[in-house]
Amino acid sequence: MVTQSQRSVVSRNLSFLLVALALGALISLQWNSSPPPAPTSHERTAALTIQRLEAEQEELKATIAQLRARLNEYQQQSTAHTELLEEITAQLTEQKLRAGLLPVQGPGVQVILNDGSQRALPSGPGDYLVHEYDIRDVVNLLWMAGSEAIAVNQERIVATTSIYCVGSTIMVNDTRLSPPYVIQSIGPPDIQSEVLRNPSYLRDLKDRAARYGVQFKVSKAGNLKLPAYAGSFVIRHARPGQ
């Protein structure tokens, strides 16, 4: 049998329980409805750092794009300059080749001229000798026959070359030469050989070869090697044009 004091204790405990439940429900509602906590200083610093890095990245991207554009422009200019340099070099090489300033090689003909042996025939002493005009005649005939390069005893013939006689010595490019005179010419071998052997040309030389033994030999060559002109060009009146 429950006494009056026991009922009072139970009633008081129930009251405490109800109050505790109500307080817990109130705290729970306040927790769910409260705003998120404010970011800490570390979080704010991290966020600012990320924004700064993103801005720097965008700036770097723009700089890279500009540098790529400039590099492409420089490459195009370099290509144009390289092509221009190659063109100038090719033209310079061609002009040097024409001027005889480069060694050359190729097929052609070789002509050997040498003094003859005196015979018991009435003649002057000059009939047995090779003269400077003989060499000039052969050289001019070779040019006419399509020669591209000529050398006499390894002296390259160029536009300013002089072939003249000093006493009994023949001078080519101011260099003393002595017989035999070996004239080498790069060009069409068949045409040059045919022209040199044509009886209409070099009549005096061929006559002295037949009568006085002056040596005149023509032979084709598969590959001649001619040196470059080693002298200087004396320019007195010419000057560069505009």
d(CA 130, CA 132): 7
- Model pTM? 0.66
- CA angle, 178 as apex, 172 and 184 as ends, to 5°? 60
Give the C-alpha separation, 198 to 239, whole Å.
42
Query: Would you put residue 232 in left (φ > 0), alpha (ψ -120 to 50) or beta?
Result: beta
Q: Quickly state the pLDDT bin for 217 (edges 50, 70, 90).
A: very high
For the stretch 19-69, pLDDT in tens is: 566 666 666 655 555 455 566 776 677 777 778 878 888 888 888 788 888
Percent over 70 (pLDDT), the chain: 78
Domain 105-226 has CATH 3.30.70.1880: yes
Distances (CA, A) of 198 to 6, 122, 129, 146: 159, 28, 22, 15
How far, in Å, are 29, 40, 41, 197 from residue 36 at the CA level? 14, 12, 15, 115
**Report for 7-21, 166-180, 228-242: range of highest mean pLDDT:** 166-180
CA atoms of 142 and 187, how far apart (whole Å): 9
pLDDT one-digit tens code per residue, 183-215: 999 999 999 999 999 999 999 999 999 988 999
The residue behind tokens 């090489």 is 93
CB 104 within 8 A of CB 97: yes
